[in-house]
Amino acid sequence: MTVTPAVSGTAHTTLDDRLEGVYEAIVRRNPAQPEFHQALREVFETVGPVVAKHPEYVEAKLLERICEPERQIIFRVPWTDDRGEVHVNRGFRVEFNSALGPYKGGLRFHPSVDLGIIKFLGFEQLFKNALTGMPIGGGKGGSDFDPKGRSDAEIMRFCQALMTELQRHIGEYTDVPAGDIGVGERELGYLFGQYKRITNRYESGVLTGKGLAWGGARVRREATGYGCVYFVERMLEARDMSLEGRDVVVSGSGNVAIYAIEKVGQLGGRVIACSDSTGFVHEPTGIDVELLKQVKEVERLRMSDYAERRGSGARFVDGSGLWEIPCEVALPCATQNELDGDAAAALVRNGVIAVGEGANMPCTRDAVRTFREAGTAFGPGKAANAGGVATSALEMQQNASRDSWTFEHTEERLLEIMTDIHDACFETADQYGAPGDYVTGANVAGFTRVADAMLALGLI
Ligand code: NDP
Ligand code: 2IT
């Protein structure tokens, strides 16, 4: 499987008339949700040929139905801080689509969370989950709660308050949340503890990303970052290249970033920079991933603290500029729209050959266009970061059978799944006349799986 790295001409910028009308109507009906519109637009720009080939999709108003979540839940989350002061946050769970299985997707705690953010994430999740080939539908949730600077006791009380309402909407066969930004093993523990208390059920399959001692699965913690690097390795292989000896820049320093950095090292590459929301560390000899885990996961400190501990070889730079560091592979693993057109142009100018979206929609539309026109191997998030949710589905499988797999076996399954996703995207792009264009491949393959299941289930 080899491809010439040229996808120019496939970077669609206009919508078919038929789709334009549907898109405009959805935007009018969902005002002030720019991230949701952006995610919709990207899918609409690539599924035109599928819709043209399937009149039954048009007749059944599949697009209109897929873009309307099955259920959108918004609720009050009152909690008290350590001084006894009362706070009121907003909780969300958007149950987007259950044609392929129970709603599945993470919970995000970040002050920027609003309905539009959760809807964009839920919409992406739906197609991502379909691409995994596992029996999971799409959903997403979270809160505008800001965990930064909060004590452990405050985090626990907030999680308990959120779950007091969320518990009535979720369940092993209904909706299975997991982590995302600001939600990791600690938060999932408090959430699971409260669910268990209220329901009086040890229902392991209601959440994924759990700790190993209480129903979790090996490799879930590593899965998104590892999976993203496997996906990039497959894209490089399709061009007769590999990660070996390559300089890589990663954004973020959270769950996805840390394990992407670890896997790049295992495959012979070198991560020379990573970041947090305040700035980045540039370390030309390579980020020390064990120290990074200690600083970020154990001590919950900042990248500036990492640089201080590393000494003179590592330089902390306040603010932006991460993507100006010359590298051959870029892995945006922090948040949406963190890499814009100018950053993409700088990366292309400096000779980037592959980009894998570890985060959800980290590249702006301009950035994606720049990469596609330059012929950069570009792995969109719904394909490249699907390893996390795929391993969540493996966790559900282990919970259902009360089994616990080894690290090696689980990682092998992850590798197979990422390879299958790569191949499905690659082959679909080929079939639709856009060789090497993983954006078209991922959107068309994901959309078709959801659309066919919805058709089979009647008017849902
Ligand atoms: P974490 O909370 O563990 O880490 C998030 C990282 O991104 C931190 O370094 C954070 O820096 C940085 N970040 C967050 N918001 C911003 C911002 N507005 N500007 C700059 N940097 C920011 O989250 P994850 O690693 O779990 O998630 C990262 C991305 O990956 C998200 O897009 C998420 O949706 C996606 N994802 C996560 C999966 C998972 O299994 N966890 C699966 C698939 C995708 P700081 O600490 O300074 O805020
Ligand atoms: O964006 C994502 O895929 C996640 N945050 C993980 C979802 C999950 O259910 O494991």
Q: Tell me the CATH number at 310.
A: 3.40.50.720
The pLDDT tens digits for 254-306 are 999 999 999 999 999 999 999 999 999 999 999 999 999 999 999 999 999 99
Q: Is residue 321 part of a domain?
A: yes
The pLDDT tens digits for 8-61 are 334 445 678 889 999 999 999 999 999 999 999 999 999 999 999 999 999 999
Ligand 2, closest atom to CA 179?
5
Q: Is residue 8 part of a domain?
A: no
Q: Is residue 428 part of a domain?
A: no
How many domains are contained in the chain? 1
Q: pTM of the prediction?
A: 0.97
Q: Whose CA is nearest to atom 4 of ligand 2?
A: 106
Residue 341 structural domain: 225-384
Whether 388 lines ligand 1, by a CB cut-off of 6 Å, is yes
Q: Is residue 77 part of a domain?
A: no
Ligand 2 centroid distance, CA of 178 (Å): 6
What's residue 6's pLDDT?
36
Q: Which of 104, 128, 140, 296 is catalytic?
A: 140
Q: Is residue 323 part of a domain?
A: yes
Q: Whose CA is nearest to atom 20 of ligand 1?
A: 277
Whether 106 lines ligand 2, by a CB cut-off of 6 Å, is yes
Q: Is residue 354 part of a domain?
A: yes
Percent residues over pLDDT 70 in the chain: 97
Ligand 2, closest atom to CA 136?
9
Q: Is residue 272 part of a domain?
A: yes
Q: Is residue 20 part of a domain?
A: no
Q: Whose CA is nearest to atom 9 of ligand 2?
A: 105
What's residue 162's pLDDT?
99
Q: Is 140 an annotated catalytic residue?
A: yes
Neighbouring CB atoms inside 10 A of 295's CB total 22
Alpha-carbon dihedral sign for residues 53, 54, 59, 60:
negative
Q: Whose CA is nearest to atom 29 of ligand 1?
A: 359
Task: Look at 311 and 330; give whichever has higher pLDDT.
Answer: 330
Long-range contacts of 48-51 (CB under 8 A, 24+ apart): 48/12, 48/15, 48/16, 48/18, 48/19, 49/432, 49/433, 49/444, 50/432, 50/444, 50/447, 50/448, 50/451, 51/16, 51/18, 51/19
